Amino acid sequence: MSTTRREALAALGMAAAGGWIALGSDPVWAAQDEPTAESLPQPREYSLPPLGYAYDALEPHIDEQTMRLHHGIHHASYVAGLNRALARLAEARKTGDYELVKHFSREAAFHGSGHLLHAVFWRNMASTGGGEPKNKALAAMLQRDFGSFGAFRAHFQAAATAVEGSGWGILALEPLGRQLVVLQAEKHHNLTQWGCIPLLCVDVWEHAYYLRYQNKRAAYVSAFLNVVHWEDVAERLDRALALAR
């Protein structure tokens, strides 16, 4: 780092926040207790996450062609849409031209929520999934908050099947009550409860099931429940409870 930069940081009063350490022959700034914009790591980039299994792994419940289109085309377009919206908002900050702020805020909400829910959805499924969760904490919480696993399953299935238009059925942790709730999402971002942490999501957009199930959404939701990767849901619950402390 140059002397000029060091002086600039010192002038901004940032010297108190960290210290200079030698890394090879170059002195580098090491953040200590007070984070600065300079010392923070860069935000993560939004990119299409790998599926984690083969496109045909969930056959016959979820077919290979649907999985290929869904992951490679649809999810990829949400990632691109999110990055585009964020770039346009950054541009607005530079130019001070906020005429399209409403449009790109909505685009970021739509594509960002789509990206997040798909990323959870792929991991929520496994060829060895289905049945009931073996994880005791998850099983106990489903029983406490829904009465029984069967009651949860019926509620989840009814909510997912009845989403108006395109959307999702979601099992989430509601952090204020620290309880599990079933949500419907319209599109990706409408009808959320702020702060809820999605644990198990089923995509009920037609692109998720139409090739194999046509208009029979309930049959598709049943098939989805045959591939639920409950260990993944249990891990998500564990992390969500830590966040909701």
Residues 222-241 that bind Mn ion (CB under 5 A): none
Nearer CB in complex with Mn ion: 145/203: 203
Nearer CB in complex with Mn ion: 118/229: 118
Residues 71-130 that bind Mn ion (CB under 5 A): 74
CB of 168 to Mn ion, least distance (A): 8
Q: How many helices (H) and strands (E) does the chain have?
A: 9, 5
Residues 7-46 that bind Mn ion (CB under 5 A): none
Residues 178-207 that bind Mn ion (CB under 5 A): 203, 205
Nearer CB in complex with Mn ion: 9/62: 62
**Contact characters 51-80, Mn ion, x per CB under 5 A:** -----------------------x------
For residues 100 and 78, give the distance between their C-alpha atoms in angstroms, rounded to a whole number.
19
**Count of CB atoms situated within 10 Å of the CB of 224:** 28
Nearer CB in complex with Mn ion: 117/182: 117
CB of 121 to Mn ion, least distance (A): 7
CB of 199 to Mn ion, least distance (A): 18
Nearer CB in complex with Mn ion: 74/187: 74
Residues 204-223 that bind Mn ion (CB under 5 A): 205
CB of 59 to Mn ion, least distance (A): 18
For residues 90 and 110, give the distance between their C-alpha atoms in angstroms, rounded to a whole number.
17
Contacts of 202 (CB under 8 A, 6+ apart): 121, 124, 156, 160, 168, 169, 170, 221, 224
Q: How many residues bind Mn ion (CB under 5 A)?
A: 3
Q: Strand 179-186 and strand 26-31: pairing?
A: unpaired
Q: Which of 143, 155, 135, 151 is nearest to 239 (CA)?
A: 135
Output b/e per residue, 100-114; b: 16+ Cβ within 10 A: eeeebeebbbbbbbb
Nearer CB in complex with Mn ion: 174/203: 203
Sheet holding 197-203, edge to edge: 179-186, 167-174, 197-203
CB of 150 to Mn ion, least distance (A): 27
CB of 187 to Mn ion, least distance (A): 10
* Distances, alpha carbon 19 to alpha carbons 29, 36, 222, in Å: 6, 12, 58
Nearer CB in complex with Mn ion: 149/205: 205
CB of 210 to Mn ion, least distance (A): 11
Q: Strands, DSSP E only, in the chain? A: 18-23, 26-31, 167-174, 179-186, 197-203
Look at the block and give the residue holding tokens 């995509």. Answer: 203
Which parts of this chain interact with Mn ion (CB under 5 A)? 74, 203, 205
